[in-house]
């Protein structure tokens, strides 16, 4: 589907649950390893215009999907805590007004916002709480200033401690902390100490421990060693598990009941609407097919594009690609993909579509046997990247058979 066809975009007419992702494309400075779209050195007026366009975009799409009820909201970026107070209030207040007609009990929606320690203050927390935001995700990455400098982070360990202090005093919602494993020079013992200190704070019930993935060809890229990274991550994850944190997704750990509902929906490839520059959506088309919408990775194009649906490109996701994406995302989860969801989505049982490959993975102890879930073993999850290559080859070599089995299947019907 071409851009010019977006005027005829139609979405599912019956009721469905929808998540919102709002991308705030601003950072004070670019970290050395980051490939998320964001700009720095922007004008205050640009910030306001982007917020206004995001609200217009939300209004437009929610009107065209008038049967959708909102399941979760995630404001990410970029750095949402960098927004001026008035722009943050404008954004959150505007989304609340749009939701008034859809969800009667807004407090039931999980609403997350990302923050960086150096730009998190009391006012930010108050504006978020007053506007029904109930989950905070703070990108701390490390408590070692040398490592933070290596990453090009603006915040320091002192900023991290100050942010934790503010959150403890002024925030009653949920809190998640992001840390990185495998930074060149990082000692596993030090990471374990950091994690133990975080786990001893009763308000922290969710921690994401990502392995640093540097941009190709950068100094950081030349300094990392995959085996060292794996060892540091493994020791960090063992420390989290020993404190009762469940490794429910490859890089995510939580106490029971504290999982990120928004991200669970995302890993299950449930419908989500992405708003703002560079945001991507997966939405049910009118017939129940999967549509992928991508906003331009360019603030100016996004701002200039409102006559042409903000410059958004639209494609129908071929059903075989959607099958691959469902597995790629869902197999990240320890629990895996419910077979009921899989069969409902693809009108076929997993055995029919994946039988040979799944047996082979089970033989190699990479997949688990379960009637209710399609899940990898912990060893399988550690090698997810290479398993996805095998999966892609399997689907390609059996392409004709799979396409025949999936002919006419509409995943969101």
Of 127 and 151, CB closest to ligand SF4: 151
When computed from its CA atoms, the radius of gyration of the chain, rounded to whole angstroms, is: 22
Considering only residues 101-120, where is the footprint of ligand SF4 by CB under 6 A?
116
Of 36 and 190, CB closest to ligand SF4: 36
Of 40 and 349, CB closest to ligand SF4: 40
77 part of the interface to ligand SF4, by CB under 6 A = yes
Of 18 and 140, CB closest to ligand SF4: 140
Of 36 and 42, CB closest to ligand SF4: 36
Number of residues that bind ligand SF4 (CB under 6 A): 11
Of 295 and 326, CB closest to ligand SF4: 295
Dihedral-angle region of residue 296 (phi above 0 means left; psi in -120 to 50 means alpha; beta otherwise)? beta
With CB under 6 A as the contact rule, which of the stretches 34-42, 179-187, 252-260, 345-353 interacts with ligand SF4?
34-42
Dist. CA 364–CA 366, nearest whole Å: 5
With CB under 6 A as the contact rule, which of the stretches 27-35, 130-138, 381-389, 390-398 interacts with ligand SF4?
27-35
Number of Cβ within a 10 Å radius of residue 45? 8
DSSP letter at 293 equals E
Kindly state the smallest distance separating residue 175's Cβ from ligand SF4, in Å: 18
19, 38, 186, 281: residue in contact with ligand SF4 (rule CB under 6 A)? 38
30 part of the interface to ligand SF4, by CB under 6 A = yes
Of 54 and 239, CB closest to ligand SF4: 54
27, 70, 177, 207: residue in contact with ligand SF4 (rule CB under 6 A)? 27
Number of Cβ within a 10 Å radius of residue 187? 12
Alpha helices in 131-225 (DSSP H): 145-151, 157-170, 188-199, 219-223
36 part of the interface to ligand SF4, by CB under 6 A = yes
Of 212 and 337, CB closest to ligand SF4: 212
Give 337's contacts (C-beta < 8 A, 6+ positions apart). 268, 326, 327, 330, 331, 373, 374, 375
79 part of the interface to ligand SF4, by CB under 6 A = yes
DSSP secondary structure, 345-387, as one string: HHSS-HHHHHHHHHHHHHHTT-B---SSEE-B-HHHHHTHHHH
Q: How many CA atoms, within 13 angstroms, populate the side-chain half-sphere of residue 263?
A: 20
Kindly state the smallest distance separating residue 10's Cβ from ligand SF4, in Å: 34
Considering only residues 137-196, where is the footprint of ligand SF4 by CB under 6 A?
139
Tokens of 239: 């420390």
With CA atoms as reference, report the closest residue to 80 among 66, 95, 67: 95
How far are the Cα atoms of 161, 214, 284, 308, 369 from residue 157, in angstroms, in the given order? 6, 21, 44, 45, 44
| Residue sitting closest to ligand SF4 (CB) | 34
12, 53, 78, 283: residue in contact with ligand SF4 (rule CB under 6 A)? 78
34 part of the interface to ligand SF4, by CB under 6 A = yes
Tokens of 360: 């082979």
Footprint of ligand SF4 (CB under 6 A): 27, 30-31, 34, 36, 38, 77-79, 116, 139
């Amino acid at each position: 589907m071409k851009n010019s066809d977006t005027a005829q975009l139609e979405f599912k007419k019956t009721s469905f649950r929808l998540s919102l992702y709002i991308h705030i494309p601003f950072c004070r400075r670019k970290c050395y390893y980051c490939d998320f779209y964001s700009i720095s050195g922007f004008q205050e007026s640009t910030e306001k215009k982007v917020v206004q366009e995001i609200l217009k975009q939300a209004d437009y799409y929610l009107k065209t999907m008038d049967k959708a009820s909102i399941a979760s909201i995630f404001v990410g970026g970029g750095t949402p805590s960098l927004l001026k107070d008035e722009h943050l209030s404008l954004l959150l207040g505007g989304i609340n007004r749009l939701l008034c007609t859809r969800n009667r009990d807004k407090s039931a929606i999980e609403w997350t916002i990302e923050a960086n320690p150096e730009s998190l203050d009391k006012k930010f927390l108050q504006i978020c709480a007053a506007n029904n935001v109930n989950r905070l995700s703070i990108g701390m990455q490390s408590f070692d200033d040398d490592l933070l400098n290596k990453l090009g982070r603006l915040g320091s360990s002192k900023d991290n401690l100050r942010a934790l202090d503010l959150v403890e005093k002024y925030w009653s919602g949920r809190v998640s902390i992001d840390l990185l494993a495998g930074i060149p020079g990082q000692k596993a013992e030090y990471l374990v100490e950091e994690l133990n200190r975080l786990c001893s704070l009763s308000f922290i019930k969710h921690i994401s421990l990502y392995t640093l993935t540097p941009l190709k060809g950068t100094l950081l890229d030349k300094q990392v060693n995959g085996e060292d990274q794996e060892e540091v991550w493994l020791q960090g994850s063992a420390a989290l598990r020993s404190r009762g944190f469940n490794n429910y997704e490859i890089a995510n750990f939580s106490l029971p009941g504290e999982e990120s509902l928004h991200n669970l929906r995302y890993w299950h490839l449930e419908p989500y609407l992405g708003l703002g520059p560079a945001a991507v959506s997966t939405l049910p088309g009118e017939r129940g097919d999967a549509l992928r919408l991508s906003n331009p990775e360019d603030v100016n194009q996004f701002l200039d594009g409102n006559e042409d649906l903000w410059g958004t490109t639209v494609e129908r996701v071929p059903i075989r690609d959607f099958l691959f994406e469902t597995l790629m995302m869902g197999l990240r989860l320890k629990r895996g993909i419910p077979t009921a969801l899989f069969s409902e989505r693809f009108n076929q049982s997993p055995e029919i579509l994946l039988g040979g490959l799944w047996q082979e993975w089970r033989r190699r102890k990479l997949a688990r046997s379960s009637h209710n879930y399609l899940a990898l073993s912990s060893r399988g999850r550690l090698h997810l990247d290479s398993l996805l290559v095998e999966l892609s080859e399997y689907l390609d070599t059996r392409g004709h058979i799979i396409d025949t089995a999936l002919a006419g299947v509409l995943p969101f019907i």
